[in-house]
Amino acid sequence: MVEWLAIFGATGDLTARYLLPGLASLRAAGRLGDDFRLTGAGREDWDSEQYRRWAEAQLGRHAADVPAGARQAVVSATEYRRSDVGDPADVAAVIAGGGPVAAYLAGLASQAPGVTFLERTVNGQPGLVAQQNGVTVTVFAFHIAGGRIRHIWVVRNPEKLRPWTPR
């Protein structure tokens, strides 16, 4: 089970509409334990309480069908850190500490104008293709076993990416 998730770009629309509701659904299904922690990181000059109020409002708006207890458990497990994903020291400060961390760069697309993520099968595995202005810039493949992502392969070599760019 994931024990700690750090979301960069945590105040964005992707987090509000999909990530927070997804986490609440996982909690309701028993897939997130009582020890789960969520660290939201973003550019807003908020403290953890402000972020919790925002997250609670987003869950009310986008996950009203999820039991209130599960939504509240996610909100209660949340802290917020002001961070710039482009600053390695900021990123290191967010994920510093003991134990495993799963980091999701929710704000990646908003940081790179013209980037689109497309779900694709990559070498027989579930994957994502990142295109910037119609040119493939990164391909991700995910090995999933036991309902968890076990490996992530990333290709950024322009020569290997050429076949992924539409003609």
Are 105 and 117 in the same domain?
A: no
Domain count, the chain: 2
State whether 12 and 46 are in the same domain: yes
Q: Are residues 131 and 103 in the same domain?
A: no
**In the chain, where does DSSP find H-type helix?**
13-14, 20-28, 48-62, 68-76, 88-95, 108-111, 158-161
Same domain (yes/no): 74, 9: yes
The domain boundary residue, chosen from 94, 109, 124: 109
The SS3 call for residue 23 is helix
Domain boundary among 92, 109, 126: 109
52 and 90 co-located in one domain: yes
Quote the pLDDT of residue 107. Answer: 53
Same domain, 48 and 92: yes
> 82 with 20, same domain?
yes
- Domain end (from 109, 134, 151): 109
Model pTM score: 0.65
Quick check: 149 and 133 in contact, CB under 8 A?
no
* DSSP reduced 3-state for 159: helix
Q: What are the b/e assignments for 38-59, b being 16+ CB within 10 Å?
A: bbbbbbeebeeeebbebbbebb
We report the CATH number of the domain holding residue 48 as: 3.40.50.720
97 and 159 both lie in a single domain: no
Looking at residue 159, its pLDDT comes to: 80
If asked whether residues 72 and 119 sit together in one domain, one would say: no
What's the confidence (pLDDT) of residue 51?
98
Report pLDDT for 122.
85
Question: Given its phi and psi angles, is residue 160 left (phi above 0), alpha (psi -120 to 50 degrees) or beta?
Answer: alpha
Same domain, 103 and 135: no
Q: Are 23 and 55 in contact (CB under 8 A)?
A: no
pLDDT along the chain (167 residues), means of 10: 84 89 93 92 95 98 96 97 80 71 54 73 83 84 71 79 76
Give the pLDDT of residue 160.
Answer: 82
Question: 148: domain range?
Answer: 112-164
> What pLDDT sits at residue 129?
83
Q: Are residues 24 and 101 in the same domain?
A: yes
Q: What is the pLDDT of residue 68?
A: 97
pLDDT at 27: 94
Task: Give the pLDDT of residue 38.
Answer: 94
Nearest to 111 by CA among 132, 94, 90: 132
105 shares a domain with 116: no
Q: What is the pLDDT of residue 149?
A: 65
User: What pLDDT shows up at residue 113?
Assistant: 66
